[in-house]
């Protein structure tokens, strides 16, 4: 005879839900698809490209997963609150937040257009804070927040001053937020990809520059979005529960 306690133990775990900002293209899409394969319902956030978001959602559902696309500017606190509302309405709550939305602009410091700097920091710094703040308010116990930094913080390549400064803010926030969430069983980490073959990375670079960057890591290749998605899957899955407040440099062996 099965007792109530035995019946409860046999019940499958409730499905988890992930919010992936910038989840329709590049690394974000790979993360969305990987977390869906791992059994999570996924809210695919996008800023403007509804077609790409629809393609990502279609790919997930065609593979048997659950996903919806939600448009929101990550730096707009009202839009992000509405995004989390939608996640809770559709899937019952939020367990994982991956803030992969970001902006890249390259320029020597002496030539930097301050309007470009403001736009970059609005997405990369304000956007990270807005999404992290909502995640801190809404994540359920056992949840995870993952931000995005960059391995250029270590390599210090010329031209990346504005971008790297914005990602330094992400790294500074990571441990502080982890400590602020003490006692809630929520992990907070950041991933710092190295050179990864995405449209964002490849844009504006010559074939020679790309080839040179590909040969820089000891593994002598560019990373793939799937490489980074695998790291995210680890940090947000059961095997990553003891990793907290860390910056994981997924870069093939760069500094």
Catalytic residues: 163
Rounded distance between C-alpha atoms, residue 177 and residue 174, angstroms: 5
> Helix, strand or coil for residue 63?
coil
CA 219 to the chain's CA centroid: 24
The structure tokens 């990550």 sit at 74
Rounded distance between C-alpha atoms, residue 152 and residue 174, angstroms: 17
Contact present, 240 and 144 (Cβ < 8 Å):
yes
DSSP assignment letter at 248: E
Rounded distance between C-alpha atoms, residue 146 and residue 113, angstroms: 30
> Helix, strand or coil for residue 190?
strand
In Å, how far are 121, 140, 141, 170, 226 from 8, measured between CA atoms?
48, 20, 19, 40, 36
Q: Which helix (H) or strand (E) holds 189?
A: strand 187-191
Rounded distance between C-alpha atoms, residue 31 and residue 37, angstroms: 10
Q: Count of residues for the chain?
A: 255
Query: Residue 18 pairs with which residues in a beta bridge?
Result: 42, 96
């Amino acid at each position: 005879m099965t007792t109530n306690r035995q019946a409860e133990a046999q019940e499958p775990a409730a499905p988890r839900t992930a919010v992936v900002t910038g989840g329709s293209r590049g690394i974000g899409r790979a993360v969305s698809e990987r977390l869906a394969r791992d059994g999570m319902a996924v809210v695919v956030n996008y800023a403007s490209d509804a077609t790409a978001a629809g393609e990502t959602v279609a790919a997930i559902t065609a593979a048997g997963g659950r996903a919806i696309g939600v448009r929101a500017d990550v730096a707009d606190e009202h839009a992000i609150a509405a995004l989390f509302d939608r996640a809770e309405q559709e899937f019952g709550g939020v367990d994982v937040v991956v803030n992969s939305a970001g902006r890249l602009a390259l320029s020597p410091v002496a030539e930097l257009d301050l309007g470009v700097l403001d736009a970059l920091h609005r997405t990369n710094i304000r956007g990270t804070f807005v999404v992290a703040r909502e995640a801190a308010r809404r994540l359920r116990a056992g949840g995870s927040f993952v931000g995005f930094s960059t391995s250029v913080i270590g390599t210090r390549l010329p031209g990346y001053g504005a971008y790297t400064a914005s990602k330094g803010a992400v790294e500074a926030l990571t441990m502080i937020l982890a400590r602020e969430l003490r006692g809630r069983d929520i992990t907070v980490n950041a991933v710092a990809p190295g050179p990864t073959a995405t449209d964002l990375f490849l844009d504006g670079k010559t074939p020679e520059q790309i080839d040179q960057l590909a040969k820089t890591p000891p593994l002598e290749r560019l990373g793939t979005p799937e490489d980074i998605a695998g790291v995210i899957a680890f940090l947000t899955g059961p095997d990553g529960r003891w990793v907290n407040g860390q910056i994981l440099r997924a870069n093939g062996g760069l500094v």
